[in-house]
Amino acid sequence: MNCGLDGYQPSEAVLETRRRLAHSVCGRDLPLAILRQVHSDDVFKASRSMLSDPPRGDGWVAGQPELLVAIQTADCLPVLLADPVQRVVAAVHAGWRGTLLGIAPKAVRVMQTEFGSRPSDCLAIVGPAIRKCCYEVGEEVVEAFSKQFEHASDLFGEPPRGKATRSRSRCLDLPEACRRQLLDAGIAVENVFAGGPCTACEKDRFFSHRAEAGQTGRMMSMIGMVEEK
Ligand SMILES: [Zn+2]
């Protein structure tokens, strides 16, 4: 189901898809907070008052119930966070730029400072994204990750034989880079779920910007809380 308003499908159809998807989360029409994503590390505290004019950024943190926070992806990492103790959730969009900027651990810090979350109470899931099998990157990206990540060589592999599109390229394990950041932020290893499928390998099931040469839709990942009874 395409959730992106970028001309891939008529907007009326996309808005109806978004509404149905949001409805399916908890069986009623909750408001949906959707960012203007820009590959930044900007994380916002979501509130209903922001719905009509959402900010430019790539992460939402929400402590309000009855509100769904959402991000859109087509290869980039959708990261959802939940703290069931303080009742806080977050949705983060992280491509290679956002990962280098540390947007996922930044969202964890916002949960800590704004809502008193303890990382050890938090759960994190990295949804379907392009993986090491398919994510060829140039040497400038390899260099940037190598500077920032300890044991960065573990994050890279050789492009499949005959598939490299440029010299000195490597294949990047972006979900693993994000998983390590979440562990460094204090989330317990058993609470980080990052073993999902590859969007480019499975472009019949998922939208993949890379595998479909930009002519594709967007998936939407969302999370929220219902009012406590
Ligand atoms: Zn793949």
**CATH code reported for the domain at 11-130+189-225:** 3.60.140.10
- Nearest-angstrom CA–CA distance, 225 and 82: 9
Q: Any idea which of 12-21, 39-48, 56-65, 76-85 has the lowest mean pLDDT? A: 12-21
Burial class (CB in 10 A: 0-12, 13-18, 19+), 228: exposed
| Three-state secondary structure call for residue 154 | helix
Residue 81 CA to ligand 1 centre (angstroms): 24
**Which tens digit of pLDDT belongs to each residue from 107-164?**
999 999 999 999 999 999 999 999 999 999 999 999 999 999 988 999 999 988 777 7
CA atoms within 13 A on the CB side of 19: 7
Residue 98 CA to ligand 1 centre (angstroms): 20
Residue 86 CA to ligand 1 centre (angstroms): 36
Would the pLDDT of 37 be above 80? yes
The per-residue pLDDT for 84 is 97
The CA-CA-CA angle for residues 170, 204, 123, to 5°, reads 70
- Nearest-angstrom CA–CA distance, 173 and 132: 4
The per-residue pLDDT for 116 is 98
CB 128, CB 72: distance < 8 Å: no
Residue 33 CA to ligand 1 centre (angstroms): 30
Q: Strand 170-172 vs strand 136-137: parallel, antiparallel, or unpaired?
A: antiparallel
The Cβ of residue 105 has, within 10 Å, a number of other Cβ atoms equal to: 22
Residue 213 banded pLDDT, cuts 50, 70, 90:
confident
pTM: 0.94
Residue 11 banded pLDDT, cuts 50, 70, 90:
confident
Residue 197 CA to ligand 1 centre (angstroms): 8
What's the first-to-final CA gap in the chain, in angstroms? 32
Residue 100 banded pLDDT, cuts 50, 70, 90:
very high
Residue 193 CA to ligand 1 centre (angstroms): 18
Residue 26 banded pLDDT, cuts 50, 70, 90:
confident
- Residue in the structure block whose two tokens are 């009855």: 66
- Nearest-angstrom CA–CA distance, 167 and 63: 47
